[in-house]
């Protein structure tokens, strides 16, 4: 295949990379006063990159890049989450800490560059292209976490993310070197062939280290320690981004490595995934109960949800992978909606509020916001008839179908535990006496529109999307098998 044909298969990444470089020049020339224009152009670039996914499928650059239905499904979710994170940013940064610090022009550009890396992650057909994509995403993410330089918490979040991210990258790179050393290749099809001939002790160690590095990127227990601190310290639009797009990219990257590269060693990696799924659902459900900060609570919620998604991966079947993809689609919508609600938590002077206690009696002053909060909390808890119930049912069904009944049973039990802290927030909003906090009115059309759109998507109306979503996820999962 010629370079021109390979580039045509990577058109989405080419559009985003070229667009980001041009916007970087615009930012350098025009400064921060062009931020709003750059933000809208960045959203348009994400939309165009999404349309480019309709192009031809195939393997590019000697199999290092895979353009298939699985990658396209993941990228649509990534681009949607990235676009939403750009759109909700301006009002937060303009009013942060009571000052009128405008949004910097670099913010949307960093998100575009992170999307290039995430696109490489989900399309990787080789451990080296996977690592390059991972690092491109990570380098942009470290800067985004510490984006509010005047906020000590943001700087601390960036530093923690950088140090622990570097450690995880080292673990993953060591695992890649072991796999290469004992299989003689970094290409996924070559690794699958080597593992198919029998898993040696060296290959097993390589597998364990690779999955340990991947577990950090999806913030699965026991590599979750960075998540609550980074989510709390990072600016809320950045936390929205971290909780959605990189989660999708990391999980889909882990799925491709597990199914395509290490499929013949399914018995070995399945044990690791089952442990991570159990630990994540249990810790994510229990540790969130005593949280007083809404962003920390949502951080543990994301760990909990990763555990449920891993239950589908543990099944190792096409049905299980399709269930994970459906789960990710619904999870992204619920997460973005929840964080848009968190962005509405502002006092009369426009300063962000993150204490859960501040939500007391909110239903009397902001009934619309309260209803949206309730919809997202009940949906995250997986309570029918809200749409959040359906993907949980699918991953449990996939696990039971391959005989993992104990895993599904524990997942259901921890889902009940997790429902406690989601329902507690609804109880505070609707039944507690109003506190002293007075939430400022929301006059932002973009935030209101996103909140309404996502609330409708996870309401019972969302069940109408099941035929289309099921067909797309089945086709995406089928492209791996």
Per-residue pLDDT tens over the stretch 162-186: 888 899 999 999 999 999 999 888 8
| Cβ contacts of 51 within 8 Å, gap of 6 or more | none
Tokens 């799925």 -> residue? 255
pLDDT of residue 200: 86
pLDDT of residue 98: 43
What phi and psi values does residue 272 have, to the nearest 5 degrees?
Answer: -65, -45
Asked if the model's pLDDT at residue 241 lies above 90, the reply is yes
Q: Round to whole Å and give the CA distance between 244 and 332.
A: 5
| Cβ contacts of 276 within 8 Å, gap of 6 or more | 215, 220, 221, 307, 310
Asked if the model's pLDDT at residue 453 lies above 90, the reply is yes
Q: Which of 79-88, 352-361, 436-445 shows the highest mean pLDDT?
A: 79-88
**CB-count exposure of residue 397 (10 Å: 0-12, 13-18, 19+):** middle
Q: Round to whole Å and give the CA distance between 280 and 251.
A: 14
pLDDT of residue 96: 46
Q: How many CB atoms lie within 10 A of CB 432?
A: 14
pLDDT of residue 437: 63
pLDDT of residue 290: 84
pLDDT of residue 101: 52
Q: Round to whole Å and give the CA distance between 112 and 445.
A: 23
pTM of the model: 0.92
Two structure tokens written together for 280: 């994540």
pLDDT of residue 132: 93
pLDDT of residue 247: 92
Helices (H), 124-151: 127-145
pLDDT of residue 56: 83
Q: What is the pLDDT of residues 87-119, one digit of tens each?
A: 998 888 875 444 435 678 889 999 999 999 999
Q: What is the pLDDT of residues 366-407, one digit of tens each?
A: 888 889 989 999 999 888 889 989 999 999 999 999 888 998
pLDDT of residue 99: 41
**Which of these ranges, 151-160, 300-309, 392-401, has the smallest mean pLDDT?**
151-160
Q: Round to whole Å and give the CA distance between 162 and 81.
A: 22
Helix 152-183, helix 188-196: angle, nearest 10? 50
Domains of the chain, by residue range, sit at 3-478
Helices (H), 53-105: 69-87, 89-95
Two structure tokens written together for 66: 């895979």
3-state secondary structure of 66: strand
Q: Are 272 and 211 in contact (CB under 8 A)?
A: yes
pLDDT of residue 248: 94
Cis peptide bond N-terminal to 225, omega within 30: no
Q: Are 326 and 391 in contact (CB under 8 A)?
A: yes
Q: What is the pLDDT of residues 185-234, one digit of tens each?
A: 889 999 999 988 888 898 899 999 999 999 988 888 888 888 888 888 88
pLDDT of residue 102: 60
The residues with which 66 forms a beta bridge, in sequence order, are: 59
């Amino acid at each position: 295949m010629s370079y021109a044909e390979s580039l045509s298969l990577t058109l989405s990444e080419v559009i985003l990379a070229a667009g980001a470089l041009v916007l970087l020049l615009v930012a350098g020339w025009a400064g921060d006063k062009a931020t709003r224009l750059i933000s809208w152009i960045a959203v348009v670039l994400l939309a165009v990159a999404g349309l480019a996914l309709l192009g031809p499928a195939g393997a590019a650059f000697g199999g290092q890049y895979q353009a298939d239905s699985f990658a396209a499904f993941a990228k649509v979710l990534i681009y949607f989450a990235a676009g939403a994170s750009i759109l909700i940013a301006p009002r937060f940064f303009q009013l942060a800490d009571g000052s009128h610090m405008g949004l910097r022009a670099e913010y949307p550009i960093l998100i575009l560059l992170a999307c290039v890396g995430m696109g490489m992650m989900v399309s990787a057909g080789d451990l080296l292209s996977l690592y390059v994509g991972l690092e491109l995403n990570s380098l942009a993410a470290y800067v985004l976490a510490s984006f509010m330089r005047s906020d000590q918490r943001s700087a601390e979040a960036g530093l923690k993310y950088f140090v622990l991210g570097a450690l995880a990258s080292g673990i993953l790179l060591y695992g890649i070197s072991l796999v290469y050393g004992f299989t003689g290749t970094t290409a996924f099809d070559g690794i699958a062939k080597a593992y198919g001939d029998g898993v040696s002790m060296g290959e097993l160690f390589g597998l364990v280290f690779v999955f340990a590095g991947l577990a950090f990127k999806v913030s699965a227990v026991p590599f979750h320690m960075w998540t609550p601190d980074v989510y709390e310290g990072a600016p809320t639009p950045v936390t929205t981004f971290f909780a959605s797009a990189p989660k999708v990219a990391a999980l889909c990257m882990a799925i491709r490595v597990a199914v395509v590269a290490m499929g013949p060693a399914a018995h070995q990696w399945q044990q690791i995934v089952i442990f991570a799924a159990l630990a994540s659902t249990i810790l994510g459900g229990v540790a969130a109960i005593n949280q007083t900060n809404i962003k920390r609570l949502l951080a543990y919620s994301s760990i909990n949800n990763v555990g449920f998604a891993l239950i589908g991966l543990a099944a190792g079947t096409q049905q299980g992978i399709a269930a994970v993809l459906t789960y990710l689609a619904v999870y992204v919508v619920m997460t973005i909606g929840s964080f848009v609600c968190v962005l509405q938590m502002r006092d009369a002077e426009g300063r962000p509020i993150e204490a859960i206690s501040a939500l007391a009696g909110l239903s009397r002053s902001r009934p619309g916001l309260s209803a949206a909060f309730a919809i997202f909390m009940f949906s995250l808890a997986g309570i029918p008839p809200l749409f959040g119930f359906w993907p949980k049912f699918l991953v449990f069904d996939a696990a039971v179908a391959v005989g993992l009944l104990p895993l599904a049973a524990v997942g259901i039990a921890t889902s009940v535990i997790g429902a406690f802290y989601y329902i507690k927030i609804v109880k505070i909003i609707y039944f507690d006496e109003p506190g002293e906090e007075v939430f400022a009115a929301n006059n932002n059309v973009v935030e209101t529109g996103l909140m309404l759109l996502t609330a409708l998507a996870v309401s019972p109306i969302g069940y109408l999307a099941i035929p289309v979503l099921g067909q797309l996820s089945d086709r995406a999962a089928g492209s791996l098998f």
